[in-house]
Amino acid sequence: MLSKILCHIRRPKVINCLLNSTTLSVSLLQQVSIQPSLLFTRSSIGLSGLTKKLILSNPLSPSGVRFISRGNTYQPSQLKRKRKHGFLARMKTKSGRKIIFARLSKRRKSLSH
């Protein structure tokens, strides 16, 4: 009894029903699983965040994709950094000049990049 309760807590109901049932019909599997042809069409390139979560969180998904590759957010470039935060960029605007003079008054070693 306790194992069945723990089983219900750990697993979603659909998977639990599939694992515990002795007669597994093909129609039940077709209702539960996502069709692979629907996942990888040309129109699925611009999937919304919710759709991606549903695809990636489905344990019966035939694609086997478990995570999305991350970690490419910061690609350092000195040219872009200087254009955005450099001394000349600060001196072009009124608020940028305020930043430079504030750093001068605090006697900062570097005024900008």
pLDDT, tens digit, 9 for 90 and up, residues 42-96: 555 555 665 555 555 556 666 666 777 788 888 999 999 999 999 999 999 999 9
Q: Where are the domains of the chain?
A: 1-34+55-64, 78-113
CA distance 19 to 13: 10
pLDDT, tens digit, 9 for 90 and up, residues 4-46: 655 555 555 555 555 555 444 545 445 545 455 555 555 555 5
Number of neighbouring beta carbons within 10 Å of residue 90: 20
Q: Do the Cβ atoms of 113 and 81 come closer than 8 Å?
A: yes
CATH class of the region 78-113: mainly alpha
pTM for the predicted model, two decimal places: 0.38
CA distance 58 to 14: 11
Residue 105 has pLDDT above 60, yes or no: yes
Maximum Cα interatomic distance, the chain, rounded to a whole number of Å: 79
Phi and psi (nearest 5°) for 58? -80, 115
